[in-house]
């Protein structure tokens, strides 16, 4: 099961687009009966989470909370991805691409963290490959 939550009010989120992206990633990495929650939040919410779980009192663009446990119903809960839409919008503007692209990029980034990829240990290479395959050539 894929759950998409829009908990911010500034931007409309195309839930179907993110559900498709997550389904593609789940298939690609052969995670059977996977459950993932993707939440879109504002800066205040991500700041609180970043302070509580990473001891950093500042907003960030994306947080991932891997769970990696099989529930009693047989579903495998990978974890939760939380994206700060205002941060993503600022980054998209700075990088010269669309908010849609940035949100999809951050979804991929967060998903790889759920799978256990770490920065400087294969995460960037895998991320670049997925972005090239799944996002490049689409509206940036």
Rounded CA-CA distance 105/57 in Å is 24
pTM above 0.85, yes or no: yes
Q: For residue 71, what is the DSSP state?
A: -
**Can you tell me the distance from the alpha carbon of 107 to that of 132, in angstroms, rounded to the nearest whole number?**
14
C-alpha dihedral, 18 to 22 to 24 to 27, nearest 10°: -160
Give pLDDT tens digits along the chain (140 positions): 999 999 999 999 999 999 999 999 999 999 888 999 999 999 999 999 999 999 999 999 999 999 988 888 878 899 999 999 999 999 999 999 999 999 999 999 999 999 988 766 666 788 788 888 888 755 44
Check the CA dihedral 47-51-57-58 and report its sign.
Answer: negative
Exposed / middle / buried, residue 78 (Cβ in 10 Å: 0-12, 13-18, 19+):
buried
Structural domains in the chain, CATH included, are: 2-134 (3.40.390.30)
């Amino acid at each position: 099961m894929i759950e998409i939550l829009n908990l911010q009010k500034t931007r409309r989120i195309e839930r179907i687009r993110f559900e498709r992206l997550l389904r593609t990633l789940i298939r690609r990495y052969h995670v059977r009966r996977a459950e993932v929650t993707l939440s879109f939040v504002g800066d205040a919410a991500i700041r609180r989470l970043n302070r509580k779980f990473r001891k950093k009192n500042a907003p960030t663009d994306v947080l991932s909370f891997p769970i990696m446990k099989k529930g009693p119903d047989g579903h495998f809960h990978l974890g939760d991805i939380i994206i700060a839409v205002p941060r993503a919008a600022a980054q998209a503007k700075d990088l010269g691409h669309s908010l849609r692209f940035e949100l999809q990029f951050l979804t991929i980034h967060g998903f790889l963290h759920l799978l256990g990829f770490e920065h400087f240990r294969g995460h960037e290479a895998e991320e670049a490959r997925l972005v090239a395959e799944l996002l490049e050539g689409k509206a940036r």
